[in-house]
Chains A and B, each alone.
Chain A
Amino acid sequence: MADAKNVAAVAAGKDDEVLQWVTFRLDNETYGINVMQVQEVLRYTEIAPVPGAPHYVLGIINLRGNVVTVIDTRSRFGLMSSDVDDSTRIVIIEAEKQVIGILVDSVAEVVYLRGSEIDNAPNVGTEESAKFIQGVSNRDNELLILVDLDKLLSDEEWMDLAQL
């Protein structure tokens, strides 16, 4: 009986594991991505456009000899584009076994969140962009929108990106 209780407690503890999220800002909202998928954060560098690339691709950068595709995150999130400034960053992430960069307004911090602190996002969206919200969390009276990077692009789009 005691063993069963321990197992349940361990299971509950496992469900409520603490995850770290890198937060960034886009158009006055704060988003979080799993720290395990973040490789590095770069200052803005020149992005070379790629002719014939999909609309969600801004271009490519040279990262220590490797070519990395940069995604237009604002466009992906259905936001208006904005000018690059001193706080603009390119976050290099790994998703779907590919390394890509996402352009964001700024990177804020790394936060620790328990599983129990994450709520489901309201399920009223029908657009593609509604799918890549993993959940939301209220932190210091600020809403953190957690993004599922694997769903940032569809399977087809990930394949297109690999062939770019």
Chain B
Amino acid sequence: MSNSVDEAVFDYFALLLTEEDVADEAAKNIKPIIPHAAQTTLAATPVKGDKVLGQQQVKLAEQLQRAPVPAASKPSVATKSASSLDKRALEQLLSAVSAPPTAQIDKPIEAVQTKTKVADEAIVISKIKQTVVEPQIEEKIETSATIKVEAKAVDEQVTEQQLETQTGITPPGITESLVEQLDEEFQVLFFKVAGLTLAVPLVSLGGIVKIERVNHIMGRPEWYLGVQTYRESQLNVVNSCAWVMPEKYDDTLAQSVDYQYIVLLEDSNWGLACESLVNSVKILKSEVNWRTKAGKRPWLAGVVKEQMCGILHVQALIELLNLGLGSQDSIG
């Protein structure tokens, strides 16, 4: 593989990762606002039993609701934020749940009573925002044994919710319809274009055809390779390299690309030209970083983590192609 192709592949995924980083940064920016509010409330409120704790929770909930985080109030963003919590945070949460309750031993009776009442209120908190919990726990552990119990109650709720989120993966927005369509474990086909690996879910694969005679049609964009006759109809063949990486597509790359197959998109008359078919494997939904924002590239459903390659959102791709749009155009 030539350097230019390597660079192209590297740049491509660097771009993808940058986009996700931007989304993560946005999520991070949201986080500190709420815990800070919670922290202030907790510090200012003396802990004197269940009643106070109840007030404290109500106050906390009010502050959370009043907190100027419009995006955080949307369930879709909340899910994204939860999924963006790193493993360390999850381990912290799990360790808090699984660790022996040393702090509770001091005041076991009080702790049990508190736990039962606080559990209901904890649900309210966890419903409002999952990302709030991580820093909130740290603060509460420092306050008193009673609050530790409350924190554990919240922990349990949140841990359960986080585990559900991570295994269920309910990505919001543009990929929702695609993900709903897929089983928990689904098959994808990996194929290569100029060194770049792309994946297409098999449910969205219309077929694979060997490239034979592609008729060039005048006046079409550079990414339009031409028409190939297939089963007495015409297949519109996309020059995948030119379409996916227009900025990298020059004469040198054009000459080096040797298309062998056409990957048909659902039951449309569009097909992506590719150089080689890698393999078809079963993957879990959780093994894909699903896109949560429409952004540029609506045709990209996400990134398969293990193979580090883009997975196609075929319906969006067909829509773009029907409109004669390029890979970086947005629909509508």
Residues of A within 8 A of B (CB): 27-29, 77-79, 119, 121-131, 133, 136, 138, 141-143, 145
Contacts and interface: CB of A to CB of B under 8 A. Distances in A.
Nearest to B237: A122
Given A29-B215, A143-B227, A145-B215, A130 B234 contact: no
B233 A126 contact: no
Interface in B107-124: none
Given A136-B234, A138-B232, A122 B224 contact: yes
B324 A79 contact: no
Contacts of A125: 217-221, 224, 324
Residue from the set B217, B221, B224 with the largest chain A CB neighbour count within 10 Å:
B217
Residue from the set B217, B218, B269 with the largest chain A CB neighbour count within 10 Å:
B218
Contact of B217 (A28, A122, A131): A122
Given A119-B233, A130-B218, 9 more contacts: A27-B216, A79-B218, A119-B234, A122-B220, A122-B269, A124-B220, A124-B221, A131-B219, A143-B227
B218 A141 contact: no
Main secondary structure of the interface of B (DSSP, over half): loop
A145 B227 CA distance: 10
Contacts, number: 68
A130 B218 CA distance: 6
Contacts of A121: 217
A127 B219 contact: yes
B236 interface: yes
Nearest to B235: A122
Given A123-B324, A124-B324, A126-B324, A133 B233 contact: no
Given A122-B224, A122-B236, A133 B218 contact: yes
B229 interface: yes
